[in-house]
Amino acid sequence: MNFQALLRLVHITGFAAWFGTIFASLFLLRTLEPGLTGEKKEADVHTLLLRRFIKLETKVADVAVISVILSGLLLAHFYEGWSTWVFTKIGLVILQIALTIGYIIKAIQPITYPCKASAYRPWYHLFAISFTMFGIILLTTFFLR
């Protein structure tokens, strides 16, 4: 089997899984919003569900991100070379991870449930950050090279 093709498959699949976890989180949070912004009893149940989902989603996202990074580094080292484009992509991935983690710490972790709809809004800002960065990475990877 062609090792380069296998690395590309792992790289693309990891990126798609990472992207997919963000979409899954968005859909779940849209579904849970009425419960998390409503009655205390209902919010308690929904909060437990949200925490369990985040724990599982984080495991999947971590594996996906690590596979993207490792396969990308191996592709660069063995097949693509260390060009400006490779370092640009590395920088964008690092920026996406830093922005996401930073925003989660700053705006998402302090939220307590039940909360007002306005206090729930940072979740959607987090998705805007993630999808914007995914768009920039895809634009850079496929169209600006």
The domain total for the chain is 1
CA pair distance 2, 43, nearest whole angstrom: 51
- Measure Cα distances from 9 to 71, 97, 105 in Å: 9, 22, 32
Structure confidence by residue, pLDDT tens digits, 71-125: 999 999 999 999 998 999 999 999 999 999 999 999 999 999 999 999 999 999 9
Q: What is the mean pLDDT of residues 51-78?
A: 97
The pLDDT assigned to 58 comes to 96
The pLDDT assigned to 143 comes to 82
Exposure string of 44-67, with b = 16+ CB inside 10 Å and e = fewer, is eebbeebeeebeebeeebeebbeb
pTM for the full predicted model: 0.91
Burial class (CB in 10 A: 0-12, 13-18, 19+), 36: buried
| Of 1, 2, 21, residue with least CA distance to 134 | 21
Range of the domain at 42: 3-143
Q: Is the pLDDT of residue 126 over 90?
A: yes
